[in-house]
């Protein structure tokens, strides 16, 4: 009989170590293996979380080490939940989330569906389409700033060419209500390929015989699409939405480079606002409460969503 | 053999780690990355030659300077032995023990604050404000000033068109109203076949830009932070009719006389707009003026400078910094030796000649100072009337609140000037209440 890797490992173990291990149960050995990981998780995940919860009930400011730390109860939470500015920031984030997910799913799925066919240059086209998601968000933010520049930017130039509206008469990142849409466009440009790739994986996982059976049953292409393609790709699509939703909820770098949250607060997302509160205004207690509220929101929404995803997968 | 390899590798790692660190006798000076910092590197070579101390420099771009350095100080980092920090940091730095109090050192070394311009000592060195507690030596005087295309102003056809429209000669503006008229006159004008614009001003949202720009107008219109200094009684001062008029003025300047897409601009963008020939006038810190004057395309005979025009009062927004010793430096003696060296009149004279703005009376009161550079006289005039933002320990919160209120009103068209300033009082009151000052 060919020795298994475990057999080989057992034979290779020095006798002294084998004697020491022999007295331990499997369960103990298992715990020994996972203990470092658990310790690490406790140190870098759980402890900071508990510490943040504690800080959220105080007036602690990290830049005032000598100041007295006072227990303020729920005051930080009350101030956040009654702050119109923070609700406006939440709305801006919701707008960004909804429209980026909408466009990325729509365009990503369409691209995947088109590219799933066999044609010449398919591989090259796929590579070209996924290029944007390989770039750094910092690079993307910077070069889209130039593309949106009213006097020399390509976007304004194209608008002038197509509509006759003078290029210098409007600013994509400036006042006038275009800025929230401009950041949606950039994020969609960058991350649609990611959704496309996941959808493509979903489309390619559908066995051909299902379509062949549908053809035999004389099902139309439209019916095949709605009764085979969409249901079978849906779990993949939902997974893509989950990934992108979580990522965009904490969007910071690209939008900071594009608009810095402006003009005014038109593109002020919660992550940018939280960073300002925590590391520019140094309201550590207040920002801890802010972070906990966001954490609970994301955790709650993600839990509901994952349950829905599991139900879809079970169907 | 294996043990031998291990020992050798450990020794090499140790040597590399030690070699990677700055020597304990070296000094690291931290500042913003801009023209004067390069001049200071050159100037400091004299200090290195005299003392044998190696100088290292850590320069951070302006938009990240406050974030980076305040984090460094706050975390007790040992990156900087010396720090040329912004004037507004001094309250927090003094109260949190980040900067060394220099009174004893000044007394021991006979360094007198009377040798420096009073406005700079007040702004860059003292905390509480005006008290003789010194946490910095005035290092780099600065204010928000203006420069313009002298060659465009001098063109007969432009002169004639301006006179026809406004009934006076086109010249350096003496009031904010004149400034606006000139900027509007140039807005969209064709010069040498190219469309040019009125003025580049500060509108940046993220750090301090729009506050530094708008206060240039607000101060000139009569804006005050408090009715009674030190009482935090802001109602009627921050939102006075003069302050409202000043803010409305700044918005009009932004809306009617700046280049398109100029909604998030600070120092760099202002310089770029001027150097690329887009604007007739630009605001920026005096620190950049030597570099601008030396610019081969727009400097020399093409450019001239003027102090921020008065409206009700002569006033300019204060820039500039003092040099401080970081309290937890490992090389305290070296850092203090640098301060002592830097305070000498001959070093200060050389500092000015290399592009730094000395605050030493020996330099500023020199009879030849006014004529030593085309902007020297304007600098003196500006420094005589500077006003600074709050220098409170909570300055960052106060600043960000003003950034938000001003940008919302001026750039994003939200609400009125009165509402913006009323809202600002609300924000600032909340901050001062949290600080226990109200």
Report yes or no on B246 lying in a domain: yes
Q: Are A166 and A223 in contact (CB under 8 A)?
A: no
Beta bridge partners of B318: B143
Q: Does residue B71 belong to the interface with chain A, where contact is any CB pair within 8 Å?
A: yes
Are residues B287 and B407 part of one domain? yes
Are residues B380 and B286 part of one domain? no
Q: Which residues of B touch A149 (CB under 8 A)?
A: 261
Report yes or no on A64 lying in a domain: no
Are residues A294 and A156 part of one domain? yes
Residue A18's pLDDT is what?
A: 67
- CB A279 to CB B413 under 8 A? no
Cross-chain CB nearest to A263 (options B67, B95, B263) = B263
Are residues A149 and A105 part of one domain? yes
pLDDT in tens, B76-127: 889 999 999 998 899 889 988 999 999 999 999 999 999 999 989 999 999 9
Does the pLDDT value for residue A115 go beyond 60? Answer: yes
Are residues A282 and A193 part of one domain? yes
Strands B321-325 and B82-86: antiparallel
Rounded distance between C-alpha atoms, residue B26 and residue B22, angstroms? 6
Q: Are A272 and B403 in contact (CB under 8 A)?
A: no
Report yes or no on A69 lying in a domain: no
Domain count, chain B: 2
Are residues B173 and B267 part of one domain? yes
Read off the pTM. 0.84
Are residues B337 and B242 part of one domain? no
- CB B263 to CB A175 under 8 A? yes
Are residues B416 and B284 part of one domain? yes
Q: How confident is the model at residue B19 (pLDDT cuts 50, 70, 90)?
A: very low
Q: Are B212 and B281 in contact (CB under 8 A)?
A: no
Rounded distance between C-alpha atoms, residue B376 and residue B432, angstroms? 38
Residue A35's pLDDT is what?
A: 95
Report yes or no on B367 lying in a domain: yes
B263: closest chain A residue by CA: A174
Cross-chain CB nearest to B412 (options A169, A263, A276) = A263
Rounded distance between C-alpha atoms, residue B124 and residue B137, angstroms? 7
CATH number at residue B420: 3.40.190.10
Task: Give the DSSP letter of residue A69.
Answer: P
Beta bridge partners of B29: B57, B82
Secondary structure of residue B285 in the 3-state scheme: strand
Mean pLDDT (chain A) is 91
Q: Are B360 and B125 in contact (CB under 8 A)?
A: no
Domain that holds residue A180: 82-314
CA distance B214 to chain A (A): 15
A60: closest chain B residue by CA: B434
Rounded distance between C-alpha atoms, residue A91 and residue A277, angstroms? 18
CA distance B99 to chain A (A): 14
Domain that holds residue B275: 144-317+394-434
Quote the tokens at residue A48.
């900071």
- CB B67 to CB A279 under 8 A? yes
Report yes or no on A72 lying in a domain: no
Domain count, chain A: 2
Cα dihedral: B244, B246, B249, B250 (round 10): -110
Report yes or no on A73 lying in a domain: no
Q: Are A235 and A306 in contact (CB under 8 A)?
A: no
CATH number at residue A178: 1.10.3720.10
Are residues B169 and B114 part of one domain? no
Strands B144-149 and B279-285: antiparallel
- CB A281 to CB B408 under 8 A? no
Are residues B423 and B379 part of one domain? no
Are residues A152 and A104 part of one domain? yes
Residue A159's pLDDT is what?
A: 94
Strands B27-32 and B55-60: parallel
Domain boundary among B351, B371, B387: B387
- CB B95 to CB A260 under 8 A? no
Largest CA-CA distance found in chain B, in angstroms, rounded: 94
Are residues B138 and B153 part of one domain? no
Are residues B250 and B168 part of one domain? yes
Q: Which residues of A touch B407 (CB under 8 A)?
A: 262-264
Report yes or no on A181 lying in a domain: yes
Q: Are B306 and B148 in contact (CB under 8 A)?
A: yes
Q: Does residue B23 belong to the interface with chain A, where contact is any CB pair within 8 Å?
A: no
Residue A21's pLDDT is what?
A: 67
B196: closest chain A residue by CA: A151
Which comes out higher in pLDDT, residue B279 or B129? B279
Count of A-B CB contacts under 8 Å: 86
Quote the tokens at residue A288.
């801890």
Secondary structure of residue B3 in the 3-state scheme: helix
Q: How confident is the model at residue A2 (pLDDT cuts 50, 70, 90)?
A: low
Secondary structure of residue A307 in the 3-state scheme: helix
């Amino acid at each position: 009989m060919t020795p298994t890797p475990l057999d080989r490992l057992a034979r290779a173990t020095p006798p002294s170590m084998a004697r020491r291990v022999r007295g331990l149960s499997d369960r103990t050995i298992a715990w020994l293996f996972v203990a470092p990981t658990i310790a690490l998780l406790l140190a870098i995940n759980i402890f900071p979380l508990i510490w943040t919860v504690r800080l959220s009930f105080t007036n602690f400011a990290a830049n005032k080490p000598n100041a007295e730390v006072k227990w303020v109860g729920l005051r930080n939470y009350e101030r956040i939940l009654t702050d119109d500015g923070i609700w406006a920031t939440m709305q801006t984030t919701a707008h960004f989330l909804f429209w980026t997910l909408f466009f990325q799913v729509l365009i990503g799925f369409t691209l995947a569906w088109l590219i799933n066919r066999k044609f010449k240059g398919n591989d090259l086209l796929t590579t070209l389409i996924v290029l944007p998601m390989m770039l750094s968000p910092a690079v993307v933010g910077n070069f889209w700033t130039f593309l949106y520049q009213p006097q020399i930017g390509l976007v304004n130039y194209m608008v002038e060419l197509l509509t006759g509206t003078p290029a210098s008469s409007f600013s994509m990142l400036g006042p006038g209500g275009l800025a929230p849409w401009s950041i949606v466009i950039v994020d969609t440009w960058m991350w649609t390929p990611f959704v496309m790739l996941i959808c493509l994986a979903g489309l390619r996982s559908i066995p051909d015989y299902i379509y062949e059976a549908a053809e035999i049953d004389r099902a139309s292409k439209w019916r095949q699409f709605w009764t085979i393609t969409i249901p079978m790709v849906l779990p993949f699509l939902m997974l893509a939405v989950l990934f992108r939703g979580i990522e965009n909820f904490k969007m910071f770098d690209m939008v900071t480079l594009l608009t810095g949250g402006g003009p005014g607060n038109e593109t002020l997302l919660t992550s940018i606002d939280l960073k300002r509160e925590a590391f520019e205004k140094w309201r550590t207690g207040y920002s801890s409460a802010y972070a906990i509220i966001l954490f609970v929101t994301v955790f709650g929404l993600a839990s509901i969503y994952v349950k829905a995803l599991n139900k879809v997968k079970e169907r | 053999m294996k043990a031998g390899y291990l020992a050798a590798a450990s020794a090499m790692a140790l040597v590399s780690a030690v070699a990677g660190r700055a020597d304990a006798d070296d000094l690291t000076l931290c500042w913003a990355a801009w023209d004067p910092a390069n001049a200071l590197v050159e100037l400091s070579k004299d200090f290195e030659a005299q003392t044998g101390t190696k100088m290292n420099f850590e320069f951070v771009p302006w938009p990240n300077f406050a974030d980076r350095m305040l984090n460094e100080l706050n975390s007790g980092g040992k990156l900087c032995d010396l720090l040329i920090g912004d004037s507004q940091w001094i309250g927090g730095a003094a109260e949190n023990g980040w900067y060394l109090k220099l009174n004893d050192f000044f007394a021991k070394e006979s360094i007198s604050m009377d040798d420096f311009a009073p406005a700079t000592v007040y702004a860059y060195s003292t905390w509480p404000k005006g008290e003789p507690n010194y946490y910095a030596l005035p290092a780099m005087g600065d204010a928000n000033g203006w420069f313009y295309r002298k060659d465009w102003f001098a063109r007969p056809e432009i002169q004639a068109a301006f006179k026809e429209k406004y009934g006076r000669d086109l010249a350096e503006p003496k009031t904010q109203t004149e400034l606006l008229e000139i900027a509007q006159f140039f807005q969209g004008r064709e010069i040498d076949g190219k469309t040019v614009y009125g003025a580049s001003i500060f509108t940046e949202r993220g750090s301090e830009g729009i506050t530094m720009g708008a206060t240039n107008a607000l101060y000139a219109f009569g804006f005050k932070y408090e009715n009674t200094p030190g009482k935090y009684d802001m109602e009627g001062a921050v939102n006075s009719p003069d302050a409202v008029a000043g803010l409305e003025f700044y918005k009009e300047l932004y809306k009617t006389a700046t280049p398109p897409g100029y909604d998030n601009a600070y120092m760099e963008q202002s310089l770029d707009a001027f150097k690329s020939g887009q604007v007739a006038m630009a605001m920026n810190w005096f620190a950049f003026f030597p570099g601008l004057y030396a610019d081969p395309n727009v400097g020399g005979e093409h450019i001239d400078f003027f102090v921020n025009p008065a409206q009700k009062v002569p006033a300019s927004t204060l820039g500039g910094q003092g040099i401080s010793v970081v309290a937890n430096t490992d090389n305290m003696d070296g850092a203090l030796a640098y301060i002592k060296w830097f305070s000498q009149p001959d070093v200060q004279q050389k500092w000015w000649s290399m592009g730094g703005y000395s605050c030493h009376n020996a330099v500023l009161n020199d009879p030849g100072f006014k004529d030593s550079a085309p902007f020297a006289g304007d600098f003196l005039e500006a420094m005589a009337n500077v006003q600074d933002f709050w220098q409170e320990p909570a300055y960052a919160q106060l600043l960000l609140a003003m950034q938000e209120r001003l940008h919302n009103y001026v750039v994003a068209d939200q609400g009125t000037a009165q509402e913006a300033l009323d809202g600002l009082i609300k924000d600032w009151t909340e901050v001062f209440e949290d600080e226990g000052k109200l």
